[in-house]
């Protein structure tokens, strides 16, 4: 009895599969080339035929095929047609976000330089180097805060007085140099600590904190900080303690100078 041989003759069955693969790849690349030079009118005809055959609605953009020139991005912000006369120079949301991020980074660099300049100014005078311990410089959402705070047994203002000590005045004068070099506006706020003693009749923590903030403003302006850079001068009394867990601590008595995250509305020296 004759035996049946298994497999393809010659043992080259893989060649048929390889030839099929090459044929499919060639068809695929021909299809890509055909789509890269598509005829818009013929494409619309094909799309209409497909819609009628399968009963689907026409999709404005899908896959790699563009319809009506619309971009095919996965996160398309606005796919509406805009007439040329209605077009504007308003940036897209993505561009606006990038612009704001760039501005924020510029502000961060500017505040870092300002903080370094302020610390250097405080170290320039040996006689007030000890007072630098009373100054805290930190960045916040509003801008760069320069906190001039009291410490136990060593205050920056006489008890109940609106005018600072002479050493405090010299400290504020040294801070004025870097501040007037910055174009940003300033917010100056006075704060007091909570007290168990009743306020003086007609003159309480609100008046005292506002007067101390105004005294700091006056010193800065005398040192050349433009008055146009002043955004606000306010007194907060003990409503915003630096240490809420201990509202009576001495460090809650302070004056905060905030270098705001904006430039003044008018350039220095502007005259209408």
Cα separation of 82 and 73, whole Å?
18
pLDDT higher at 38 or 147: 147
What does DSSP assign to residue 250? Answer: G
Domain 97-260 has CATH 3.10.620.30: no
Distances (CA, A) of 154 to 118, 150, 165, 167: 22, 6, 11, 11
Ranges for all domains in the chain classified under CATH 3.30.1330.60: 97-260
Distances (CA, A) of 247 to 29, 159, 185: 76, 17, 29
Least confident of 6-10, 75-79, 239-243: 75-79
Residue 67: what pLDDT?
44
Average pLDDT for the chain = 76
Q: Over the stretch 162-187, which tens digit does the pLDDT of each residue have?
A: 999 998 999 899 899 889 988 889 99
Judge whether residue 59 has pLDDT over 50: no
């Amino acid at each position: 009895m004759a035996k049946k041989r298994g497999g393809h003759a010659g043992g080259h069955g893989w060649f048929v599969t390889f030839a099929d693969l090459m044929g499919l790849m060639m068809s695929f690349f021909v299809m890509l080339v055909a789509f890269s030079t598509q005829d818009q009118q013929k494409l619309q005809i094909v799309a209409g035929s497909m819609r009628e055959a399968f009963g689907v609605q026409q999709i404005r953009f899908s896959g790699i095929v563009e319809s009506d020139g619309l971009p095919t991005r996965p996160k398309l912000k606005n796919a509406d047609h805009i007439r040329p006369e209605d077009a504007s120079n308003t940036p897209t949301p993505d561009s606006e976000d990038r612009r704001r991020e760039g501005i924020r980074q510029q502000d961060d660099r500017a505040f870092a330089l300002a903080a370094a300049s302020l610390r250097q100014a405080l170290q320039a005078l040996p006689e007030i180097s000890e007072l630098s311990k009373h100054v805290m410089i930190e960045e916040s959402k509003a801008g760069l805060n320069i906190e001039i705070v009291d410490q136990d047994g060593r205050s920056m203002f006489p008890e109940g007085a609106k005018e600072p000590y002479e050493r405090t005045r010299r400290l504020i004068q040294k801070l004025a140099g870097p501040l007037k070099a910055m174009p940003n506006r300033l917010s100056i706020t006075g704060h007091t600590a909570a007290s168990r003693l009743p306020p003086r009749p007609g003159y309480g923590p609100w008046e005292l904190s506002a007067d101390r903030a105004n005294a700091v403003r006056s010193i800065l302006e005398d040192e050349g900080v433009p008055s146009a850079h002043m955004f606000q001068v306010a007194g907060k009394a003990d409503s915003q303690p630096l240490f809420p867990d201990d509202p009576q601590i001495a460090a809650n008595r302070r004056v905060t100078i905030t270098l705001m995250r904006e430039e003044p509305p008018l350039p220095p020296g502007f005259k209408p």
